[in-house]
Structures are given as C-alpha cells and as structure tokens.
Structure 1
Amino acid sequence: MLDVNPDSVCFLIEKAREFQAKEAVVIPEEPFSPSDDWALQVLADHQDDLSYQEARAVIEDLEEGQQVEVVALMWLGRGDYEESEWEIVLEEAKAAWTPRTADYLLATPLVADYLREGLDLLGYGCD
C-alpha cells in the first residue's frame, strides 16, 4: 500500500522526536516584521541541530510521491481522515505538495506521534 519505505518513516519519527524534544524555541509575541512566520523562526533556530538535519535529509531524499505519502500519513495519524479515506488523503496531499515539505512536516508539533499513528492505522509499525 505504501510506496515510501516504512523503515524510512520510522527513522524520521525517531529524528523528529529527538528534534522536537529539545528545549522549545521562544517565539516573540510581536513578529520582527509582518512577513515573519513562526514556523520558519522555529526551523531557523535549529539549522545546526543534527537531529533536525538528519530528519530534513530523510524527507528531502524522498521522491515527490513519497513525500506526499508522508504528509498523508501525518494527516491520517492526526485524525483529519479515516483509514478508509486513504486514496482521498493521498490526492489532497498531492495537491498540497510543495518543495518545502520538510519545513512543513518538521514545524508540525507532534509530527512524530502523527506519523506513528498513521503507520499503525495502515498496518505498519516501528520495531
């Protein structure tokens, strides 16, 4: 059912947990400029973090269709869709794909939990 290797997703889950478990970044209540985006601030503050770099590399090494599946897994695990709607969530994720998929995934709080739940719902697991 999955084109993306579940082991790659499990590695991503591990690295995302390590990255997101670190001390939270303090985000100012007032952005420095109107174009500031909180997610970009969070990611920019962690550019030198090895776990972040490894997670980002895993995502960027995936083909576009595989990145789409990872986003779909996250949405499924987050409860946005039911398991029976897998084909629908894939189409939605494909329509929403951008070259910034790694930024999107890594800026999502609880992404590791969502990916794990998505894998579990589809009958895959991490050992």
Structure 2
Amino acid sequence: MMSLSSGKLATVIIRARKYEAGIPGSGKARELRGLIAAMNDDEKAELTAVMWIGRDTFEPEEFDEAVSMARTEATVPTEDYLLDNPVLADHLEEGANALGIDLESAEDEIFPHV
C-alpha cells in the first residue's frame, strides 16, 4: 500500500500543470516545491517512482523496486529533481494510470461538485 494518497498525487499533478503552463515569477514553482518538500521520505520516493513508471523507466509491476531505487539514488532534494522534468505532470498522470490509481475520484475529493 502506498503512503502517498491519491489525493496528494492529484494535487501534485494539478500544481505541476499550473507550474508548466505558468508565467515566470508567478510563484507556481515555489508552491509546487513546497508541496513536495513537505512530504515525508516514503511519499517522495513513491512520487518519484510514479514519475519513473510514467516515463517508462520502470514497469508498473516494478513499483517496489522503483521506490527502493528512488530512496537510494536521491542525491538532490526530490522537489529539485522532479521540477527539472518539463513534462512532470504528464509523467505522473501516466504513471498513476499505469498503476491503476483513480485520479478522477481523488480530484472530486479535492474539488467537490457544488
């Protein structure tokens, strides 16, 4: 079971999309960095693993191996590493889909219909 909730993953994806489409100096990078920096080490490793699965570095069934590698290979802060990926949101979304994580339900929890 993942430490990283689907809601938190969906929030990162939403903020990453805003960051990728944003205007320099808008504060979106700081917001996204802060969100990732506030995660615990397990969540950061799992977030990195989801991104790696989304970019086809690992297969979904290799998730545990990807998490282990993310823990041992981390040489820079996770937020710096992930924000260096210009298509982070796409890779996270593709990884989540490959792992069967229901992002639509998570987004509904974040943004309930009124």
The bucket for the TM-score relative to the shorter chain is 0.7 to 0.9
- Which residue of the partner structure matches residue 70 of structure 1? 47
1:101-120 paired onto structure 2 within 5 Å: 101-120=78-97
Distance 2:2 2:94 in 1: 15
**With structure 1 as the length reference, what TM-score do the two structures score?**
0.75
Larger Rg: 1
**Which runs of 5 or more structure 1 residues have no equivalent in the other structure?**
24-45
**With structure 2 as the length reference, what TM-score do the two structures score?**
0.83
Count how many residue pairs are aligned between Structure 1 and Structure 2: 104
1:1-127 paired onto structure 2 within 5 Å: 1-22=1-22, 46=24, 48-98=25-75, 100-127=77-104
Q: Which structure: greater helix fraction?
A: 2
Cα deviation, 1:3-37, whole Å, max 9, x if unaligned, reads 111111111111111111136xxxxxxxxxxxxxx
Distance 2:69 2:76 in 1: 16
% identical aligned pairs? 30
The residue type equivalent to 1:67 in the other structure is K
Give the ranges of 4+ consecutive aligned residues of structure 1 lying more than 4 Å apart after TM superposition.
none
Q: RMSD of the TM alignment (CA)?
A: 1.5
**Which runs of 5 or more structure 2 residues have no equivalent in the other structure?**
105-114
